[in-house]
Structure 1
Amino acid sequence: MLYKFPNVEYDNLFFKIKEMIEKRIEKIKLSLKNEEMVL
């Protein structure tokens, strides 16, 4: 059970997922800004 014994691998996975989500959010924000400029 990973959650009972947090190890480095699990932490890294969590960090990667968190990073991916943040990058996705940044992309969405950027595309929204671009659309505003077009309008």
Structure 2
Amino acid sequence: MPFAGRMIDVPVDEWAKVVMSTSTACRPSDAEKQAARDAA
């Protein structure tokens, strides 16, 4: 993962945890946006 011109070694499982938690956090907002699109 590049950072300030350097590569930082991030274990894949730790990165996956971040991605999954971000996805979970965004889910309510995504559902709200989809409902607004469906209603339009």
In the superposition, the TM-score normalised over structure 1's length comes to 0.46
Tell me the TM-score normalized by structure 2. 0.46
Where relative contact order (Cα < 8 A, 6+ residues apart) is larger, the structure is: 1
The structure richer in strand per residue is 2
Higher helix share: 1
